[in-house]
């Protein structure tokens, strides 16, 4: 995904009838503040269905950013030397 918009998963987009170019209002848990983002694309996901946004885009909208999921490239190669316990 790229900066500047919101991406929704294919399954979520189908169920909610969301299309690229739509604008979605987003509200985080525990806050009454709403953010509006343009849907920049529909992505395939075999994990949770929902929406994705980059940290930069979220912070630019003055949202507090706390990562809760890590996305990797489909060609990611895990290396034990990059893992600590």
Domain residue ranges of the chain, discontinuous segments joined by +: 6-82
DSSP 8-state secondary structure symbol assigned to residue 78:
-
9-13, 24-28, 53-57, 62-66: least confident range? 62-66
pTM above 0.75, yes or no: no
Return the structure tokens found at 6: 């919101």
Please write the tens of the pLDDT for every residue from 45-59.
Answer: 777 778 888 888 888
User: How far apart, in whole angstroms, are the C-alpha atoms of residue 12 and residue 45?
Assistant: 10
Q: What is the rounded CA–CA span in Å between residue 80 and residue 83?
A: 5
Place of tokens 């979220």: 58
Exposure string of 60-78, with b = 16+ CB inside 10 Å and e = fewer, is: eeebeeeeeeeeeeeeeee
């Amino acid at each position: 995904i790229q900066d500047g918009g919101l991406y929704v998963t294919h399954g979520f987009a189908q169920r909610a009838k969301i299309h690229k170019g739509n604008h979605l209002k987003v509200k985080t848990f525990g806050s009454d503040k709403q953010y509006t983002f343009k849907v920049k694309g529909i992505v395939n996901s075999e994990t949770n269905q929902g929406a994705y946004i980059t940290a930069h885009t979220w912070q630019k909208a003055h949202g507090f950013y706390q990562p809760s999921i890590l996305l990797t490239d489909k060609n990611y190669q895990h290396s034990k030397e990059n893992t600590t316990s």
